[in-house]
């Protein structure tokens, strides 16, 4: 997919099999998602701590550290949310010239900025505000489900990465069928959603958890995602089950 390496920053690259109606639907879905995260931005970090039993930020840092990036590496955190992964990158790479956090939701960007994220811009998986071949690693935590159209998103990521650059995508992966899938749904929608609303004293908390189930339950299987990465020009493809619902997609941009 060499075309992705020559596109302009933020260019909406066309992709075979992605029709006009599908794109319009995805744009509408993105707008709904932004509205939801705007409503729940003020409770997001508390929910993250509850769902991860306080280990969320530690896990992000460990996953990022496992890339063994050079001290001067330039990193992009896609769909950065409140900035946890970008902040971990700033701690691990204090001498780097650039750690760019990108998110489409103004409320989330504002929280990330207040938390200490040094550089943050508006953008998304399909519109990354960075030059072609300008970064050494692209990372993202729990937002792969929003990368739509996914093949276009992966081509855009490939565009901004230098040859042999790292890609790390953390995501929650549910079982495709069976009792584990049913148990996950019950825990999130019947137990944690009402409990979160009660503890946070805000219905937006429960609404966000119910949305979490819907979004991760609709995500394709890891094998499909790896295939899309390969088609977009990535190599060294790997999926790691990190325990519980946690999964990691790792890849490298192909050499020119």
CA 131 – CA 160 distance, rounded (Å): 6
Per-residue pLDDT at 8: 42
179 HSE (CA, 13 A, CB side): 0
pLDDT of residue 11: 44
User: Which fold does the domain 16-176+210-244 belong to in CATH?
Assistant: Rossmann fold (3.40.50)
**pLDDT for residue 149:** 92
Quote the pLDDT of residue 151.
Answer: 95
CB 250 within 8 A of CB 229: no
> What pLDDT does 204 receive?
94
Please tell me the predicted confidence (pLDDT) of residue 54. 65
Angle in degrees, CA 124, 126, 128, rounded to 5? 60
Domain boundaries, the chain: 16-176+210-244
Q: Note the pLDDT tens digit of each residue in 9-38.
A: 444 444 555 555 554 555 557 889 999 999
Q: pLDDT under 70 in the chain at which residues? A: 1-28, 54, 256
What is the model's pLDDT at position 14?
46
Nearest residue to 139 (alpha-carbon basis) of 79, 93, 180, 82: 79
pTM of the shown model: 0.88
């Amino acid at each position: 997919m060499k075309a992705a390496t020559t596109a302009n920053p933020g260019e909406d690259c066309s992709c075979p099999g992605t029709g006009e109606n599908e794109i319009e639907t995805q744009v509408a879905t993105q707008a709904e998602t932004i509205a939801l995260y705007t409503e729940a931005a003020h409770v997001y970090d508390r929910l993250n701590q509850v769902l991860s039993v306080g280990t969320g930020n530690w896990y992000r840092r460990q996953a990022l550290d496992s890339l063994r990036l050079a001290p001067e590496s330039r990193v992009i955190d896609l769909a950065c949310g409140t900035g946890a992964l970008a902040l971990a990158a700033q701690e691990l790479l204090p001498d780097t010239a650039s750690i760019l956090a990108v998110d489409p939701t103004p409320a989330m960007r504002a929280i990330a900025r207040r938390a200490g994220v040094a550089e943050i811009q508006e953008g998304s998986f399909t519109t990354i505000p960075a030059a072609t071949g300008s970064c050494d690693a692209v990372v993202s935590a729990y937002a792969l489900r929003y990368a739509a159209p996914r093949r276009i998103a992966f081509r855009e990521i490939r565009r901004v990465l230098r040859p042999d650059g790292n890609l790390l995508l953390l995501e929650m992966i549910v079982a495709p069928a069976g009792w584990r899938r049913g148990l996950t749904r019950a825990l999130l929608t019947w137990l944690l959603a009402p409990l979160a609303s009660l503890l946070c004293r805000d219905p937006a908390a429960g609404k966000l958890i119910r949305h979490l189930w819907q979004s991760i339950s609709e995500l394709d299987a890891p094998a499909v995602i790896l295939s899309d990465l390969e088609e977009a020009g990535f190599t060294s493809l790997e999926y790691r089950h990190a325990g519980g619902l946690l999964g990691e997609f790792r890849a490298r941009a192909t050499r020119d």
